Structure 1
Amino acid sequence: MVFEKVCNILSEQFGVDAGSLNMDTAFIEDLGADSLDVVELMMSIEEEFDVGEISEEEAASMKTIGDLVRRIGDDD
């Protein structure tokens, strides 16, 4: 459920097919995200999942969809 929602957000933000994403998809290398994209993504995730603020340091440490899904899962 969390993975699917994250993929849908990424699909909208990056214009990619949600079905082409997996837990190992990297934001920068695979999706071409820059620092502004990552900030926007974190804001979308914070709003969608009500996980509180994700710090810049924490966001920078998340490289893949799996990293992000695990972070969201920590607050469930």
Structure 2
Amino acid sequence: MAALAAVGSAVFPAQRLQVVSNRRSTAPFFPSVQLRAVATTKRFQLLACSAKQDTIERVCEIVKNQLAVEEGKIVSGESKFVDLGADSLDTVEIVMGLEEAFGITVDESSAQEIKTVEDAANLIDDLVKQKGA
């Protein structure tokens, strides 16, 4: 049935499919199978709001340098500044470093909403788009 779901996803890329088995089938090894399409936009929402990978990587490097993160520690988009040891002053310094690196200006209310590397990268991508428009 997983194969049917995979094929269905290729055929109906904008929809998620549910595979439903009818247990009343007379042949136990070949149950009748129905594909039921369920509309979903979550896949597209994730693509629309996700920061570009290169932006995330640049933000990770800036955060690593600003916080002097030890060599083996992994910093990813999901990394929270607090978990990396940042206090409020460190966060302000990170934002200032990001402003300098990307040539943007982050207002105070937006800066206070940044909790993770990906939050920062999403904000940067938005500000860069606004600046270019």
| Superposition TM-score, scaled by structure 1 size | 0.85
Q: Cα gap change, 1:19/1:6 in structure 2, threshold over 3 Å: closer, same or farther?
A: farther
5+ residue gaps, structure 1, are none
Look up the match of 1:69: 121
Rg (Cα) greater in structure? 2
Question: Which has the larger strand fraction?
Answer: 2
| Alpha-carbon offset, residue 8 of structure 1 | 1.0
| Alpha-carbon offset, residue 56 of structure 1 | 2.0
After the TM superposition, which segments of 4 or more aligned residues of structure 1 sit over 3 Å from their partners?
none
Determine if the alignment matches structure 1 residue 3 to structure 2 residue 56. yes
Look up the match of 2:27: none
Determine if contact 2:79/2:117 at 8 Å carries over to the other structure.
yes
Q: Per-residue displacement from partner, 1:6-45 (whole Å, max 9, x unpaired)?
A: 11111111122487111110011x1121111111111100
Question: Percent identity between the aligned chains?
Answer: 38
Helix, strand or coil: the match of 1:25?
coil
5+ residue gaps, structure 2, are 1-53
How many residue pairs get aligned? The number is 74
Determine if the alignment matches structure 1 residue 22 to structure 2 residue 64. no
| Superposition TM-score, scaled by structure 2 size | 0.51
Question: Which has the larger helix fraction?
Answer: 1
Determine if contact 2:60/2:77 at 8 Å carries over to the other structure.
no
Distance 2:88 2:58 in 1: 21
Which residue type is aligned with residue 42 of structure 1?
V
Distance 1:18 1:70 in 2: 25
Q: Cα gap change, 1:18/1:3 in structure 2, threshold over 3 Å: closer, same or farther?
A: farther
